[in-house]
Amino acid sequence: MPRASLSMTSKAPKLLHDALGAIASAAEFVAGVSLTQYAAEKMRRSAVERQLEILGEACSRLARLDSSLLTSVTNLKLAIDLRNRIIHGYDAVDDEIVYLTVTEDLTELKLALTGLLDSLRNAP
């Protein structure tokens, strides 16, 4: 687990909570839903995309606090890049990629962010 310089700022715990909350919400919104169902429900897609925007923005702000996180935290850059795609390329968002990201790719990021938050809590 990366031992980042995040402890030097009081912003880090809030950003980590925001990111973890967004991961949890996105996962909740797709739980028990097939890709076909997800693609057919505009409100669900919008809700998931909003959570991924929050996740990506929180991760981007964390990376600005400590740029080493971009290489040391699995899928941090993925979250940032996906946020940028959703916001700037909204007309080219692929529902399958979003769905698979939420259902398959965020577990490692969640574990890494949880580890960072725990290390901040346990820091002297």
Q: Tell me what the mean pLDDT of segment 24-30 comes to.
A: 98
- pLDDT value at residue 3: 46
Q: By C-alpha distance, which of 96, 116, 71 is closest to 80?
A: 71
For the cut 60, the answer to whether the pLDDT of residue 95 exceeds it is yes
Pick the residue with more confidence: 92 or 101? 101
Query: Which residues contact residue 16 at a Cβ distance below 8 angstroms, ignoring those fewer than 6 apart?
Result: 58, 62, 113, 116, 117, 120
Q: Classify residue 25 as exposed, middle or buried by CB count within 10 Å of its CB (0-12, 13-18, 19+).
A: middle
pTM, two decimals, is: 0.90
Q: Tell me what the mean pLDDT of segment 75-85 comes to.
A: 92
Pick the residue with more confidence: 91 or 112? 112
For the cut 70, the answer to whether the pLDDT of residue 2 exceeds it is no
Q: Tell me what the mean pLDDT of segment 79-91 comes to.
A: 89
What is the rounded distance in angstroms from the CA atom of residue 61 to the CA atom of residue 96? 27
So where are the chain's domains?
10-116
